[in-house]
Amino acid sequence: MYANDADAPLRAPITVPALRQMKQRGERIAALTAYDASFARAMDHAGIDAVLVGDSLGMVVQGGANTVSVTLEDMVYHSRCVAKGLRSALLIADMPFQTYAGPERALDAATALLAEGLASMVKLEGAGIVLDAIGYLSEREIPVCAHLGLTPQSVLKLGGFRVQGRDADAAKALLAQARAVEAAGAQLLVLECVPSTLAADITGAVGIPTIGIGAGPDCDGQILVCHDALGINSGHRRPRFVKDFLKGRDSVEAAFRAYVDEVKSGAFPAPEHGYA
Ligand SMILES: Nc1nc(=O)c2c([nH]1)NC[C@@H]1CN(c3ccc(C(=O)N[C@@H](CCC(=O)O)C(=O)O)cc3)CN21
Ligand SMILES: CC(C)C(=O)C(=O)O
Ligand SMILES: [Mg+2]
């Protein structure tokens, strides 16, 4: 239809404040992970709001058993690749294992992800001691996304990828962590593998948007790993929150459009994709 992309009408670029306004309006946020320019471009065309360069690349791209081996160099490289494919979607990059062990180290790593990786926001896992890094970055004008619940960089201590916040004490602690990351300056919050009712409570308790993965239908937005959304099995057991959007469709972009539509309408995730 257009001679080249440069002639196509531009969707307004999605900013961090725009995501907060979506929460306030009750418009759901649709996000996916990407690791290269071509998939990022297809997602952007499909109307995705945010793209995360996840350290899940250690598993789905590099074939590792977890995300612990991913380096800052890996993340900068893939973030820069993804940035080249985006016109409108907000680009978030994961901070790798131990690159935010201490505020100054976090500032160096986050600066590399923004300046060389061309990301617009960085994501780090946990609260507690990590609150210092969240505060240090956000005070220095670096947009921060927090990540609570199942934090895959903790897998060696946890002993596996398991649902978090299931008993009353753990649920209370997770709600307190959510309030604490917001108070420290986080502007977005990923909730991974937590009971749907707890994710709903947290979403109501914080002003920042929540993005769920295995966190039920009542988050402000949803995210999936790109490969999972396309039915590509990376050799691990398929978690229950995964849905194959390519099934019954004839292109990757159609699958991404269906994902965006189902997140916006609330059709995805269905109750069976969540945990009790
Ligand atoms: N392809 C892929 N998709 C992901 O969502 C993902 C990654 N890789 N790599 C990093 C982490 C690891 N993730 C995982 C991996 C396994 C489960 C899982 O098997 N969950 C069990 C829950 C068991 C319980 O009840 O505690 C499940 O049955 O869904 C969950 C999240 C999420 N992230
Ligand atoms: C699954 C999302 C939230 C993530 O952190 C990743 O892909 O690394
Ligand atoms: Mg990650």
The answer to whether residue 262 is catalytic is no
| 167-180: burial string, b at 16+ Cβ within 10 Å, e else | eeebbeebbebbeb
Dihedrals φ, ψ of 92, to 5°? -115, 140
Identify the architecture of domain 5-273 in CATH.
Alpha-Beta Barrel (3.20)
CA distance 7 to 101: 44
Using CA positions, which residue lies closest to atom 3 of ligand 1? 225
Q: Say if residues 35 and 70 touch (Cβ distance below 8 Å).
A: no
Q: Is the ipTM of this complex over 0.95?
A: yes
* Dihedral of alpha carbons 136, 138, 142, 147, sign: positive
Average pLDDT value for residue range 207-232: 98
- Binding-site residues from annotation for 3-methyl-2-oxobutanoate: 55-56, 94, 123
Q: What is the pLDDT of residues 1-49, one digit of tens each?
A: 555 666 565 789 999 999 999 999 999 999 999 999 999 999 999 999 9
Using CA atoms of 81, 70, 31, 217 in order, give the dihedral in degrees to the nearest 10.
Answer: 170
pLDDT in tens, 251-266: 999 999 999 999 999 9
Ligand 2, CB cutoff 6 Å, lining residues:
33, 52, 54-56, 94, 190, 192, 213, 223, 225
- Nearest-CA residue for atom 7 of ligand 2: 54
pTM score:
0.97
Domain ranges of the chain: 5-273
Alpha helical stretches, state H, 16-71: 16-25, 37-45, 57-60
Q: Is 237 in the pocket of ligand 1 (CB under 6 A)?
A: yes
Candidates 27, 104, 192, 253; catalytic one: 192
Neighbours of ion ligand 3 (CB under 5 A): 54-55, 94
Looking at per-residue confidence, does 57 or 9 come out higher? 57
Does residue 238's CB lie within 6 angstroms of at least one atom of ligand 1?
Answer: no
Q: How many C-beta atoms surround the C-beta of residue 58 within 10 A?
A: 24
